[in-house]
Amino acid sequence: MRHKPSRRKFVATLTKAAGTSMFINTPILTQARHARETPPSFTVGQVMDIILKTIPNAPFPKTVDTLKSGNASQKVTGIVSTMFATIEVIEKTIAAGANFIIAHEPTFYNHADETDWLKNDPVFRHKQELLTKHGIAVWRFHDYWHSHRPDGIWTGMLSALGWEKYVDAQSRGVLTLPATPLHQLITQVKEKLDIKMVRVVGDRAQSCQRVLLLPGAAGGRNQIAAIEQAKPDVVLCGEASEWETPEYIRDARRQGQTISLVVLGHIMSEAAGMAWLVPWLKPQLPNLPISYIPSGNPFTYE
């Protein structure tokens, strides 16, 4: 974690947002900073509360977004946003002197982060001991970030893709792009999202204009319902069980529909949304180091 560059980026974001020129070095502000030499401190619970105040209808009675490690009363030394709190991300968090990881996805290899079945597993035990030894809190931030308006993941992904101008205000998840052959669209998306390989059900020459973007793994029913509604030329999804959406698209194409599916991979289809958490959160937690550590995509392709 590099605090200084992060602070610079925060200042840039703030001044840009306020539509003003640089004002941070004015005498008044310098004086104000001296008046509170100890930066305000926050507990994990206070950070969670500050975030949850921005989410409609939060806290949710039922959600997977619980603390997976640590506790609400511990003082936060620094925050890390990431897709997965992998062992590597935890090690980097410790090295950076931070102790609060906000992760979009599960910590313990199942959606609900149940751990009873893992209690004798060496990988689980090592990870849990590492978290405990270094006092690292991990909060899953999945349901809430998707429930933010606009959806935090969606916003970060649109920004990474540079597709804000193509949003179809009438249809959720739909973008209207200039007509582009599928293989060109794939090249653009791979470059912008730093993806090495995608899986495709479709025709690489097909012209694509109406794009349905479904980051993550929404599940077959949700993906198919969104396809029925949006009638896109191409669906870009993060992940799909092979017996669900990919087979639906294969059958739709055999029926004569002009539609293709591109499976981007789960992590890179959402990562920019967790990177976007940092500039969004910084103004709400002055002086607290906040950074994004990419967990990256674990796959290579042979």
Residues making contact with a copy of itself (CB under 8 A): 84, 86-88, 91, 105-106, 109-111, 117-118, 120-123, 126-127, 183, 186-187, 190, 197-201, 204, 217, 220-221, 224-225, 228, 239, 241-252, 254-255, 257, 262-263, 265-267, 298-302
Using alpha carbons, select from 229, 245, 238, 258 the residue that is nearest to residue 171.
Answer: 229
Q: How far is the CB of 242 from a copy of itself (least distance, A)?
A: 4
Q: Between 140 and 282, whose beta carbon lies closer to a copy of itself?
A: 140
> What distance in Å separates the CA atoms of residue 203 and residue 253, rounded to the nearest whole number?
9
Q: How far is the CB of 144 from a copy of itself (least distance, A)?
A: 17
Residues 6+ positions from 17 with CB-CB distance below 8 Å: 283
CB contact at 8 A, 166 and 175: yes
Q: How far is the CB of 143 from a copy of itself (least distance, A)?
A: 14
Q: Between 265 and 279, whose beta carbon lies closer to a copy of itself?
A: 265
CB contact at 8 A, 206 and 234: yes
142 is in an annotated binding site: no
The end-to-end CA distance of the chain, in Å, is 33
> What distance in Å separates the CA atoms of residue 255 and residue 237, rounded to the nearest whole number?
21
Q: Between 88 and 168, whose beta carbon lies closer to a copy of itself?
A: 88
228 is in an annotated binding site: no
Pairing of strands 260-263, 199-201: antiparallel
266 is in an annotated binding site: yes
CB contact at 8 A, 140 and 105: yes
Q: Between 49 and 121, whose beta carbon lies closer to a copy of itself?
A: 121
Q: Between 126 and 149, whose beta carbon lies closer to a copy of itself?
A: 126
Q: How far is the CB of 116 from a copy of itself (least distance, A)?
A: 11
Buried b (16+ CB within 10 A) or exposed e, 6-37: bbeebeeebeeeeeeeeeeeeeeeeeeeeeee
Q: How far is the CB of 244 from a copy of itself (least distance, A)?
A: 5
Binding residues for a divalent metal cation are 104, 266, 270
Binding residues: 104, 266, 270
